[in-house]
Amino acid sequence: MTFPGYGWFSILFLLALTGALVFMMVRLRSRQPDLFPLAYLGSIAVKMLLSLTYLVVIVLDNPTEAMANAVVFLLAYLSFTGLELWWLLRATPR
């Protein structure tokens, strides 16, 4: 099995999206900690909607590699979500 056509682009898309959300959440927590839970839930919703839109576009664009692209995307999404949670929990003041 070869690496799917949108594999690297999916990883870069999720890296940029997760990095931007973590950056915004860390800044928000330091400036307005009372808004953090609501903003974090909103960022999860935005991330899921953007990811779903991206996934639909790549599946429709290349149906022959749809399953391989979806698997790479799902693995990258789960990995970056885990890193996001780890980073935000690590940055939480105790």
Question: How many whole angstroms separate alpha carbon 84 and alpha carbon 24?
Answer: 12
Distance spanning both ends of the chain, measured CA to CA: 46
pLDDT in tens, 44-74: 999 999 999 999 999 999 999 999 999 999 9
So what's the pLDDT on residue 2? 78
* Percentage of the chain modeled with pLDDT above 70: 96
So what's the pLDDT on residue 49? 97
The reported pTM is 0.87
pLDDT in tens, 7-30: 999 999 999 999 999 999 999 998
So what's the pLDDT on residue 93? 65
DSSP string, 1-30: -PPPTTHHHHHHHHHHHHHHHHHHHHHHHH
